Amino acid sequence: MDNSNVKHWDNDHFLHPWEGMATLGKNDRTFIEGASGIHVMNEKGERLIDGPGGMWCTQIGYGREEMAEAMAEQARNLAYFSPFNNSNSTTARFAREIAKRAPGDLNNVFFTTGGSTAVDTAIRFVHFRNNLLGRPEKKKIISRQKAYHGSTFLAASVSGKERDRHWLDKADDLAHFLPDVNPLYRAPGQSEESFLKEKVSDLENAIVALGPENVAAFIAEPVLASGGVIVPPKGYHESCLNICKKYDVLYISDEVVTAFGRLGHWFASETVFGIQPDIVTCAKGMTSGYAPMGAAIISDRLIADVAGKDATFSNGYTYSGHPVSAAAGLKSMEIIEREKLLEHVRRVTPIFQDQLQQLGQIDIVTDVRGMGLMGCVQCSVDGDPQSDLGCDYEIGSQIDIECQKRGLLVRPVINMCVLSPPLIISESEIEQMFDVLRKGLEATSTWLSGIRGQ
Ligand code: PMP
């Protein structure tokens, strides 16, 4: 096949997510044309370590023959049928397997097409339930600055990344945002304990100020992922859940990134953070990225409140519970279990986090942070983590350029780069990945010195 024109076609016809208008039609994106294990292959045939794990999702790695086979078999047998009035055994089986692994009494799986529609579904269900319980005013959602919950209108409206919100219309009446929970930005001399108290008070004060009768739910990623891998202070989620219970506010845990093994457990809420949320949203690692799928998993308690009522939850998608995605999800789950990948993640996490910490010695690095197989390197030109200079220079993109030259893809986010490699990454591959990242960061530092010298 002649591919000589694909770069032009890409620029002329493919509008990408987060498309920058200033560079529209002038991009030179790296094409990823193949992949195997933890590596992707660019259009020049060069192998790169997949630092971002696709986008937090390629848990079992690429090129698994048995995944292709399971999906092909499902496609041959039943590629699709409407989930509205009918069902199929593959999707029903997958729902059961998810319910078995989900926290506490979260036993009701509403399948969606991805993470954004999972968050949409969670909010719509919360509103639906409150309407049925005769309190239609209880609708506000409390979220947090720097949170990312998706790109559909509802999910974007509860996302708190300023840069993304700037150009978007949003449902302003719907959401209230709490200040940044990143311990990096605590006041000079403030202890972790007092920072935790402050952050939990932020939630309680907001509920009281808005009026508990108006607040439906609090939505939180266990670890804020694309906001820059922000790990809240220890005990944060537990205390927030207690506040939510006190005011009859539901807790939605957005585990689109953290579920299915990223933190070494099927779900992080219960096993890592000790909470049983009312609703958990998930997607991404659910199929290891082999097919699109997401879910809002709703507790028995919430379902019991609406069961038997004369009302229809009028929310659903043509591709809810798509059988080929469900087949991919079941097979991915089987592989994670058979290869003991959750245990593997728990075993290699200290190595990953230790290697990450060592990058803190590089001059442009102002913070390194992470949890499980999630990591973030934050940079700044002047060594000040509060400084805006990082944004001016788009340091993250330069780190990505320097790393790609040396065999690693990273995900740039303004002045940061985030990492979440496939869960199958071995100890020596982790060391190799961080070795390249170190060299990429040092080269970026030299590049920055050049710019500043001009
Ligand atoms: N929630 C979180 C925490 C996410 O990280 C994302 C995607 N990065 C989403 C929701 C939205 O998922 P999707 O892109 O599959 O719609």
| Cα 173 to ligand 1 centroid, rounded to whole Å | 22
Complex ipTM value: 0.99
| Cα 97 to ligand 1 centroid, rounded to whole Å | 22
| Cα 165 to ligand 1 centroid, rounded to whole Å | 15
Q: What is the chain's pLDDT, residue by residue, as a tens digit (454 residues)?
A: 788 899 999 999 999 999 999 999 999 999 999 999 999 999 999 999 999 999 999 999 999 999 999 999 999 999 999 999 999 999 999 999 999 999 999 999 999 999 999 999 999 999 999 999 999 999 999 999 999 999 999 999 999 987 777 788 888 899 999 999 999 989 999 999 999 999 999 999 999 999 999 999 999 999 999 999 999 999 999 999 999 999 999 999 999 999 999 999 999 999 999 999 999 999 999 999 999 999 999 999 999 999 999 999 999 999 999 999 999 999 999 999 999 999 999 999 999 999 999 999 999 999 999 999 999 999 988 777 776 566 677 899 999 999 999 999 999 988 899 999 999 999 999 999 999 999 999 999 999 888 877 5
Six-digit token string for 268: 């992080």
Whether residue 150 has its Cβ less than 6 Å from ligand 1: yes
Q: Ligand 1: which atom is nearest the Cα of residue 294?
A: 15
Contacts of 141 (CB under 8 A, 6+ apart): 123, 126, 158, 174, 175, 176, 215, 216, 217, 218, 219
Amino acid letter, residue 60: I
Instruction: Give span(s): CATH 3.40.640.10, the chain.
Output: 66-338
- The predicted pLDDT at position 414 comes to 87
Q: The domain 31-60+340-453: what is its CATH number?
A: 3.90.1150.10
Whether residue 256 has its Cβ less than 6 Å from ligand 1: yes
- The predicted pLDDT at position 388 comes to 56
| Cα 380 to ligand 1 centroid, rounded to whole Å | 27
Is-above-0.90 flag for pTM?
A: yes
Max Cα-Cα span within the chain: 71
Six-digit token string for 108: 């009701």
- The predicted pLDDT at position 454 comes to 56
Instruction: Give span(s): CATH 3.90.1150.10, the chain.
Output: 31-60+340-453
Determine whether domain 66-338 maps to CATH 3.40.1360.10. Answer: no
Crossing angle for the helix pair 427-453 and 341-358, to the nearest 10 degrees: 30
Residue 171: φ, ψ to 5°? -80, 80
**How many CB atoms are located within 10 Å of the residue 113 CB?**
20
Q: Ligand 1: which atom is nearest the Cα of residue 221?
A: 3
3-state secondary structure the chain: CCCCCHHHHHHHHCCCCCCCCCCCCCCCCCCEEEEEECEEEECCCCEEEECCHHHHCCCCCECCHHHHHHHHHHHHHHCCCCCCCCCCHHHHHHHHHHHHHCCCCEEEEEEECCHHHHHHHHHHHHHHHHHHCCCCCCCEEEEECCCCCCCCHHHHHCCCCHHHHCCCCCCCCCEEEECCCCHHHCCCCCCHHHHHHHHHHHHHHHHHHHCHHHEEEEEECCCECCCCCECCCCCHHHHHHHHHHHCCCEEEEECCCCCCCCCCCCCHHHHCCCCCCCEEEECHHHCCCCCCCEEEEEEHHHHHHHCCCCCCCCCCCCCCCCHHHHHHHHHHHHHHHHCCHHHHHHHHHHHHHHHHHHHHHCCCEEEEEEECCEEEEEECCCCCCCCCHHHHHCHHHHHHHHHHHCCEECEEECCEEEECCCCCCCHHHHHHHHHHHHHHHHHHHHHHHHHHHC
Whether residue 324 has its Cβ less than 6 Å from ligand 1: no
Whether residue 266 has its Cβ less than 6 Å from ligand 1: no
Whether residue 258 has its Cβ less than 6 Å from ligand 1: no
Q: Nearest residue CA, atom 10 of ligand 1?
A: 149
Contacts of 96 (CB under 8 A, 6+ apart): none
- The predicted pLDDT at position 164 comes to 73
